[in-house]
Amino acid sequence: MLPSSFLALAPLTITLLALTLRSKSGCSRSVRLPQSRCSARLDHWRSCIICSEMRALQAKKARLPRSTRTIWRILDAAGAIERDPPRQRSPRLPRAPLEEVQLDFKDISTVPADLHDPDAKRQHVIEACNFVDAGTSLLLDAQVHEDFHAETAFQAVVAFLRRYGCPSILTFDRDPRWVGSATARDFPSALCQFLLCVGVQPNILPPRHPELNCYVERYHRTYKEECLFVHRPGTLEEVRNVTEAFEHFYNTQRPHQGRSCRNRPPSQAHPVLPTLPALPAVVDPDAWLQAVHGRTYARRVKSDGRVSVDGADYSIKQALAGQLITLCVNAVERCFEVLQHESIIKQLPIKGLQGQRMPLDDYIALMQERARSEERQRMMNLRRRHLQAR
């Protein structure tokens, strides 16, 4: 219990204690100062307030506590500590089997880096690309590779779709190997365009929200603790062997406490899975454009009167050099509407569109080449930033 003399402190004393606590502990939790002294000019008058209050307390021969813990208790009793609001929990709606598949990379941390090779990778030496069904918690696929980049990640997704068919939703984070540019400054990545064209909705998660990818993230913890840290594989072949064995154990023998399994192995809880539609034999390579209809891209006109979107140059007008314009995607007309001050000043056909349907294999080869180009561009940007930081 706090002394009654402490509980009866004046608002000005509470202010002094709050400032003392801030200076002593550097606490991150908000400290609510009394409203009578809270204003935009508090910082300006802080020293005057402290000196005045100290003289008043010395005249009364009062002794202020020195412990930050005691000060905290006094402020809390006076209602000067701002409490976090209660967390509002909203459970996710259950998914149907194979309706949503979550995928993510898992670093195999037990494989050491080759310190004798100056060109060898120092981290993420070997990774596993895992596909987990949100409706059944089944581990559908686990592909182990020593060099996952935009092209090999694209190949992993294509291999999964060829094996299982096309789910309604594929959920993944903003890893540049999935989305290309995390800022969405340009068109969707090769992988996202491919998914949209074959009838799969890419669900790109917001930054720093792994709980939205919860099924595959929870599998990663189990995979790390019950497989990698137990067998401790040190080579690519060992990782593939233990991963294949653990995939069978995880799906058929290990009890799963998820709400869809109820303490049964996933394959026993869901012995029969629905058949997904296969990849189409012929694809419209421009179908992804509907997903970005109405999206705007702000650009500043270069000195030669051009702007760049997704690596392609568009001629605007040299008289507008240095000015800001907006390019709005019109998917129906397959063009950019160039706006300035909310007025359309020009229409430009979007470059890079195919204009006709393509066989699936030809389209996969085209998008694989685009993924390779994205990876080269990403590495060039990384080198440029590294050189600028020197």
Domain extent listing, the chain: 4-77, 100-282, 286-349
Q: Per-residue pLDDT tens for 173-216? A: 999 999 987 565 689 999 999 999 999 999 999 998 999 999 99
Mean pLDDT value of segment 369-378: 91
Which amino acid is it at 139? L
| CATH number assigned to the domain with residue range 100-282, chosen from the 4 options 3.40.640.10, 3.40.50.10210, 3.90.280.10, 3.30.420.10 | 3.30.420.10
pLDDT greater at residue 31 or residue 63: 63
Q: By C-alpha distance, which of 248, 164, 242, 241 is closest to 198?
A: 164
pLDDT of 46: 53
The whole-number pLDDT of residue 294 equals 94
Q: How far apart are the first and last CA of the chain?
A: 57
So what's the pLDDT on residue 38?
A: 43
Residues 79, 14 contacting (CB under 8 angstroms) = no
For position 37, what pLDDT does the model report?
42
Predicted confidence band at 144 (pLDDT cuts at 50, 70, 90)? very high
The first and second tokens of residue 96, run together, are: 């149907």
DSSP assigned state of 227: I
Across the range 283-304, mean pLDDT stands at 95
Distances (CA, A) of 174 to 192, 205, 208: 12, 7, 9
Main-chain dihedrals φ then ψ at residue 237, nearest 5 degrees:
-65, -40
CB within 8 Å of 308: residues ≥ 6 apart: 299, 302, 314
pLDDT digits (tens, 9 = 90+) for 306-345: 999 998 999 999 999 999 999 999 999 999 999 998 899 9
Rounded Cα–Cα distance for residues 270 and 252 (Å): 10
pLDDT of residue 2: 44
Distance, CA of 173 to CA of 374 (rounded, Å): 17
Instruction: Give dist(CA 151, CA 268) in Å, integer.
Output: 35
Q: What would the pLDDT profile of 354-372 be if each residue is shown by its tens digit?
A: 999 999 999 999 999 999 9
Instruction: For CA atoms 5, 8, 11, 15, give the dihedral sign.
Output: positive
Q: What is the pTM of this model?
A: 0.78
Mean pLDDT lowest among 1-5, 240-244, 279-283, 362-366: 1-5
Match 């409490």 to its residue by tokens: 83
> What is the DSSP track for 277-330?
PPPPSEE-TTGGGGGGTT-EEEEE--TTSEEEETTEEEE--GGGTT-EEEEEEE
